[in-house]
Structure 1
């Protein structure tokens, strides 16, 4: 598992520029590769420091670390994937076909549920195809926990995931018009291939992405010419009761889109949540968050107007452990929020 995350980090680092170039959904802001890579770095670091033979515990630690510093839609969904995949693996010390099928099924159900408006043709579709292929494999169905059964299941998973990536171009109008596959789907395919390689002691498939539309190194930066949303991406973690969490999701749906809310861990009277939204009004969004709780790790990132880079606006939130730390009001005023 540690080798999987480490290899995935290297793979995404090598491909991040091209993933950014074809990033046009849900916003053409050219940052999917960067967001996935930076989120994976947090997961890899946490996994490397973990001292456990329990692969579920390991992935849970990695997933929670990724969740706390997740970047963008893709990074947040990857964090959800890791934390939910860890649940059926709790107590296991080796991966098998039945466990892989169960873990991927749990991950795809949770990943679809955290989005207010899940859309086919994204990394969600790739995860769903991979989960079905793994859980429908003969080894998973018969309970075959041999290495040979795992190998066949992983290869079936990869075949299904690759087919799903190719199909993303036909599932979203923006991708069809641009003749390009989904960037998040491709990034997730690379993550799955790193899992296959690590589990089987094989190399990454260098030819895996050959022929994917828009992915050739000579292809242009597709996102640079696509319409994009005006506004910002707001992300934070916040402790909420179940009722307040439901209220927040409902009101965020009214204020913006690309709403993702995922429970990170239990806290007193509720859960710690990771929140993500694209909104035209950062001030109103932050006011809403602060009416319900105290947002932590709060960041506001402009949805790039030129399609080449995003500029993160640092937002300082009060920290009770450091009384002299500047308050949120000062920073909010500085950014006109």
Structure 2
């Protein structure tokens, strides 16, 4: 359901994608990331809720696209941890899963800011916890319904606030694209849990989200540079060192372990995302500490296409 919903909304999400760069691809990136998760689950028969979420999270991490897709993948993978061996979802487990997701997502990004998908994740976790706290660890279906409704309602309020939390959004008079994408995914979860249709009025009144609204991303100034994504096997110490170096070379650095399973040398697979002026310099830093796989290099603007292609 989330895959189809994001496909239906990808054009509008792309049109208001102006932070951290106006590359008009948040809707596409979220769709492709969630599609990878959905396909992995469809091709397997996970034993329980936790195994299903873990499979989805790992597939999403390995195929994550862009800032928003990477953070969403981190959240999915994190949600699986409290659900380990759970045969059914309940209110307390949902609270724990959303809490873990927002912690992991905030820690994965080197320079986290409010007014983004991170704010909405945090609000959803808080809203779920607030609703569940009145139910005294009730594991009934009604308690689960109250919990997911609390999460969605809080997330919706947080999406509205994003417009006032980042100057670039305030000036353009739009809400954050990734934040809206996460809200849509959360409402898909609500729909599945309750057996209800998606809320048709969920996005009503969100700045920049009327069908007739202009494509804001196309009006923003161009930004040079490239987005690099890859998977690499590193020890936690080596990963910390790479994060520090990438922070110096660029911005929008996201690093998170794909799984909690280390090899015999204590190394974990990490998903890496960064925006940098030069693909060559950043990839040299990455290759200096390991052998990256699933490497993706995308231009943030047309000016960076030649740089990326020349290096590859």
Give the TM-score range, shorter chain: over 0.9
Query: Does the 8 Å contact 2:67/2:273 carry over to 1?
Result: yes
Cα offsets for 1:14-55 (capped at 9, x unmatched): 000000000000000000000000000000001112213411
Structure-to-structure mapping, 1:1-337, within 5 angstroms: 7-138=1-132, 142-265=136-259, 266-268=261-263, 269=265, 270-305=267-302, 335-336=310-311
How many angstroms does 1:140 deviate by? 6.9
CA-based RMSD: 1.7
Unmatched 5+ residue regions in structure 2? none
Structure 1: give runs of 5+ residues left out of the alignment: 1-6, 314-331
String of CA shifts for 1:90-111, please: whole Å, max 9, x gaps: 1111111101000000000000
Separation in 2, partners of 1:54, 1:264: 20
Q: State the secondary structure of the residue aligned to 1:142.
A: coil
Render the CA deviation track for 1:221-263: whole Å, top value 9, x for unaligned: 0011112421000000000122211110000000000000000
TM superposition score normalised by structure 2? 0.95
C-alpha contact (below 8 Å) 1:98/1:140 kept by paired residues = no
Asked whether the 8 Å contact 1:67–1:76 carries over to 2, the reply is yes
Q: 1:311 to 1:96 in 2, by over 3 A?
A: farther
How far residue 161 of structure 1 moved from its aligned partner, in angstroms, is: 0.5
Give the count of matched residue pairs. Answer: 309
8 A Cα contact 2:130 2:150, kept in partner: no
Contact 1:67 1:79 in 2 (8 A): yes
Whether contact under 8 Å (2:111, 2:252) holds in the other structure is yes
Contact 1:139 1:149 survives alignment (8 Å):
no
Partner Cα distance (2:222, 2:238) in 1: 31
CA distance in 2, matches of 1:158, 1:312: 43
